[in-house]
Amino acid sequence: MGTIIIENTRMCIVFPGQGSQFVGMGKDLFLKYKNYVDEANECLGYDVQKLCLQDPDKVLSQTQFTQPALYLINALSYLNHKESQESLPAYFLGHSLGEYNALQAAGVFDFSTGLRLVQKRGKLFGSLKEGGMLAVLGNVENKLNSLLSGSIEIANYNSHEQLILSGNKLELKNLEKILTEEKIKSIPLNVSGAFHSNFMLPAAQEFEIFLRGFTFNVPQVPVLSNVSNEPYTIDNTANHLIKQITNTVLWRDQISKVLNEGIEDFIEIGPGKVLTNIIKTIKLRHNSISPDSIKSKINLGSYSFINRYNLKKAYVVGGMYKGISSSAVVIRSSRAGLLSFYGTGGVELAEVEKEIQYIKSSLNSTDCFGVNFLSNPMNPETEMALAKLCIKENVKVIEASAFGSISIALVYYRLKGLSYNNSKIVISNRIMAKVSHPDIARIFLSPPPSNYVDTLFKKGLITNEEAEISKHISMADEITLEADSGGHTDQKSGFVLVPDIIRMRNELVQEHKYDYPIHIGAAGGLGTPEAIASAFMLGADYVLTGSINQCTIEAGTSDLVKDLLSKISINDTAIAPAGDMFEFGAKVQVMKKGSLFSSRANRLYDLYKQFGDLDLIDSVEIKNLELNYFKRSLKEIWNEVEDYLKIAKPDQLVKLKTNPKSKLAYIFKWYFFQSTRFALAGDNSNKLDFQVQCGPALGAFNCWVKGSNLEDWRMRHIDVIGIRLMTEAEDIFQKRYNTIINQ
């Protein structure tokens, strides 16, 4: 009878990564497993035994040699260990490179395949000479977060007492001096590059292409991903291996997760005891926490939301108009594992297409991004053109904003690509709807309007299958509830909106029997970790920020605007008419400090409501408008508007000539257009007329970062502030949770 293999549910095997190697490693293994050694020599093209035992050319510490050699020794060590065992572990875990050994041990690929993968990975890592790494010791994470800036990222959360940083060598050297002044111990690492950071993006992109030639098996024993702390599957293996190159290694979270499952025994397979020592410190901290307290570090937000968009955090960067949410914002956010939307409002379609293509060329295929899709009821053909562009460019998610009803363009985007896979609906195009009214939330939580579906089918724009499936899906996959936000606002309270719409969502999911989750997000007023933590406490699946992001390095607005925004407080915003929906009385929230826009815009709207005809406004008022508001005659403005409409909207121009109220609206809206243009351009001569849409959240954010390196907007990177807000919100949530349950 063969050996009976059982699973040891209280044991975990771990494999070390780069840094564990030493000359002389594996000396008892080479002769015993000669066939594997010969296979390695043939694959690598050099004598790996001589490299490991003698290192005559002093290259073992070079990444392109270290990684294959360490993979070999780890693999042979596991073969040797397995001979004396009759049980499989509950988990295989590997630290960075060691994860390849964990996957090989779990049967995801064979020894030879793993060696080829690691050889390529080592060459790619070794080819990137930019950047370095720095180990930081001690329980100083919160203090460290306040000191990070520029390109520096946390590459490894090894334990609570050891973090590894990656980034620009000069910035790391400067940080090392600051850490010394703060009495924080740090050690530069002898590595060729800034591993597990955005510096590695070129390597990740090339590795993604390389992986296309491989297939993988189902793990026979669970292996947790360094990147997500979730189990590897046959479907996500390639994706996790790609993201591991640029993303943070969550080692301490992996060990904590295993400890929380009651697994206490860890066996390190490979040279040295680096991981054994790290795990000891994690276990000491873990065991010092009351078993009745929270079991593991909180990661706020819905896992299904994070998984749907392949994210690191349940955090979304909203799309700000005129490209303020620029391609730079989107690229940096997406690389960091945050969902972000390019701001298409007011941007010509040709420019939108160019920016989408640039974003796609700058990201991995696994990085997710979207575009903002602004309601334009006066020009439905513009909406349809944007929908067709998003479909053509394979934009997988759009942010539907300012919609009072469903448009046919939204339905078209939503339905294209719908299909069945083994009776399960496959959704190709997803919609995140930003709403502030329950009635609007309801229509997005309902199936697409049948009249639009019929129209699209009759025009041949959708297939019969797509039309049929439309009866079984909601219009939106995510509903973002806008409370007191910058830009268009109803000034609703998130404390009222979020619980109410969650209940509505639950009822409609049950009523329509949707077989996928619909997530509810919170937006508006989120400028501090405390505010974000409270949104999740209300039940939000994710959070979305807006105002705070236009005061970052990557935002597509002027430095002058950023200077003004970085100094506002929570009292420095005001409500003004919305230029794009001026006639309907819609409102936006704008920066008040340093600008007269809000008072002037409100005055224009009052005149519009009171008179409705330019000829009825008295001459004194007209003179004031021309001198102080427009700085030119109203006749000149009308001529400019008329020239524009002749080309862009000739039908509308005909109507205006017989409708004095609409004509007045167009003249006044000229001021709104110019005020935005002045701000984006940083036109100092028109500084008092800047229109900058912004809520009090930015004032709260400025207060939160006062005295830190983020006080200066020139140190605010879009991903840095997002990750820091979420990380501190998680800490706040966890501490308060522990306080409550331990009372």
Give the pair of three-digit tokens for residue 638.
């009308």
How confident is the prediction for the chain on average, in pLDDT? Answer: 89
Q: Final residue of a domain: which of 226, 258, 288? A: 288
Count of structural domains, the chain: 3
Q: What element of type H or E holds 419? A: strand 419-421
Could you tell me which residues come within 8 angstroms of residue 584 by beta carbon, excluding any fewer than 6 positions away? none
**489 and 376 share one domain:** yes
Report the alpha-carbon distance of residue 282 to residue 284 in Å, rounded. 5
Q: Which residue type sits at 398?
A: I
Asked, for residue 720, whether it belongs to a domain, the answer is no
Asked, for residue 537, whether it belongs to a domain, the answer is yes
Q: Contact, 583 vs 662, CB < 8 A?
A: yes
Nearest partner of 369 among 403, 393, 345, judged by Cα? 393
Q: Final residue of a domain: which of 691, 716, 737? A: 691
Q: What is the pLDDT of residue 716?
A: 92
Helix (H, G, I), strand (E, B) or coil at 97: coil
Greatest CA span in the chain, whole angstroms?
A: 106
Asked, for residue 584, whether it belongs to a domain, the answer is no
pLDDT digits (tens, 9 = 90+) for 404-444: 899 999 999 999 999 988 778 999 999 999 998 999 999 99
Q: Residue-wise over 568-582: b if at least 16 C-beta within 10 A, else e?
A: bebebbbebbbbbbb
| Residue 682: alpha-carbon gap to chain centroid | 29
**284 and 430 share one domain:** no
Q: Final residue of a domain: which of 549, 564, 581? A: 549
**282 and 333 share one domain:** no
Going by DSSP bridges, is the β-strand pair 573-577/587-591 parallel, antiparallel, or unpaired? antiparallel
Asked, for residue 673, whether it belongs to a domain, the answer is yes
Residue 627 DSSP code: I
Nearest partner of 727 among 425, 407, 336, 364, judged by Cα? 336
Asked, for residue 724, whether it belongs to a domain, the answer is no
Q: What is the pLDDT of residue 192?
A: 78
Average pLDDT (621-644) is 91
pLDDT digits (tens, 9 = 90+) for 85-120: 757 888 999 999 999 999 999 999 999 999 999 999
Report the alpha-carbon distance of residue 28 to residue 680 in Å, rounded. 68
Nearest partner of 483 among 475, 491, 473, 471, judged by Cα? 491
Strand partners, 91: 12
Q: What is the pLDDT of residue 587?
A: 85
What is the phi/psi pair of residue 38, to 5°?
-60, -40
Report the alpha-carbon distance of residue 314 to residue 339 in Å, rounded. 8
Bigger pLDDT: 1 vs 732? 732
What is the phi/psi pair of residue 532, to 5°?
-65, -40
**253 and 318 share one domain:** no
Task: Give whole-number Cα distances, 577 to 488, 585, 591, in Å.
Answer: 9, 6, 13
Instruction: Tell whether the model's pLDDT for residue 572 goes beyond 80.
Output: yes
What is the phi/psi pair of residue 504, to 5°?
-65, -45
pLDDT digits (tens, 9 = 90+) for 383-414: 999 999 999 999 999 999 989 899 999 999 99
Residue with tokens 């090339």: 206
Q: Contact, 311 vs 539, CB < 8 A?
A: no
**481 and 516 share one domain:** yes
Q: What is the pLDDT of residue 735?
A: 79
Q: Which residues are designated catalytic?
A: 96, 196
pLDDT digits (tens, 9 = 90+) for 652-677: 888 887 888 988 989 999 999 999 99
Average pLDDT (540-548) is 94
**603 and 683 share one domain:** yes
Q: Contact, 591 vs 564, CB < 8 A?
A: yes
What's the half-sphere exposure (Cβ side, CA atoms, 13 Å) at 331? 18
Question: Which of 194-203, 490-499, 679-688 bottoms out in mean pLDDT, i.e. has the lowest?
Answer: 490-499
Strand partners, 573: 591
User: pLDDT class for 267, splitting at 50, 70, 90?
Assistant: very high
Q: What is the pLDDT of residue 377?
A: 87
Q: Contact, 479 vs 501, CB < 8 A?
A: yes
Q: Which CATH number do you get for residue 72? A: 3.40.366.10
Q: What is the pLDDT of residue 519?
A: 95
Q: What element of type H or E holds 304? A: helix 303-308
DSSP string computed for 529-543? HHHHHHHHHHT-SEE
Asked, for residue 149, whether it belongs to a domain, the answer is no
Q: What is the pLDDT of residue 127?
A: 87
**109 and 249 share one domain:** yes
Average pLDDT (39-43) is 95
**609 and 640 share one domain:** yes
Q: What is the pLDDT of residue 486?
A: 61
Report the alpha-carbon distance of residue 606 to residue 604 in Å, rounded. 5
Average pLDDT (336-349) is 94
Residues spanned by the domain of 223: 6-127+200-288
**281 and 404 share one domain:** no
Could you tell me which residues come within 8 angstroms of residue 603 by beta carbon, excluding any fewer than 6 positions away? none
Q: What is the pLDDT of residue 57?
A: 93
Bigger pLDDT: 248 vs 5? 248
Burial label, 616 (beta-carbon count in 10 A; 0-12, 13-18, 19+): exposed
Q: What is the pLDDT of residue 88?
A: 81
Burial label, 739 (beta-carbon count in 10 A; 0-12, 13-18, 19+): exposed
Residue with tokens 């167009």: 666
Q: What is the dihedral of CA 641, 642, 644, 645, to 10 degrees?
A: 110
Instruction: Tell whether the model's pLDDT for residue 494 goes beyond 60.
Output: yes
Q: What is the pLDDT of residue 545?
A: 96
Report the alpha-carbon distance of residue 191 to residue 90 in Å, rounded. 33
Average pLDDT (682-694) is 93
- What is the sign, positive or negative, of the torsion defined by CA atoms of 613, 617, 621, 624? positive
**Entry field: residues in the chain:** 743
| Residue 621: alpha-carbon gap to chain centroid | 49
Asked, for residue 153, whether it belongs to a domain, the answer is no
Asked, for residue 171, whether it belongs to a domain, the answer is no
Instruction: Tell whether the model's pLDDT for residue 293 goes beyond 60.
Output: no
Q: What element of type H or E holds 371? A: strand 370-374
Q: What is the pLDDT of residue 220?
A: 87
DSSP 3-state percent helix, strand, coil across the chain (nearest 5): 50, 15, 35
Alpha helices in 449-528 (DSSP H): 450-458, 464-469, 494-512
Question: Which of 289-293, 319-323, 496-500, 557-561 bottoms out in mean pLDDT, i.e. has the lowest?
Answer: 289-293
Q: What is the pLDDT of residue 290?
A: 38
**307 and 284 share one domain:** no
DSSP string computed for 591-605? E-TT--HHHHHHHHH
Percent of the chain whose pLDDT exceeds 90: 67
**218 and 339 share one domain:** no
Instruction: Tell whether the model's pLDDT for residue 177 goes beyond 70.
Output: yes
Report the alpha-carbon distance of residue 242 to residue 232 in Å, rounded. 13
Q: Contact, 363 vs 331, CB < 8 A?
A: yes
Helices 718-741 & 327-335 angle (0-180, nearest 10): 50
Q: What is the pLDDT of residue 585?
A: 81
**383 and 469 share one domain:** yes
Q: Which CATH number do you get for residue 530? A: 3.20.20.70
Question: Which of 284-298, 548-562, 582-596 bottoms out in mean pLDDT, i.e. has the lowest?
Answer: 284-298
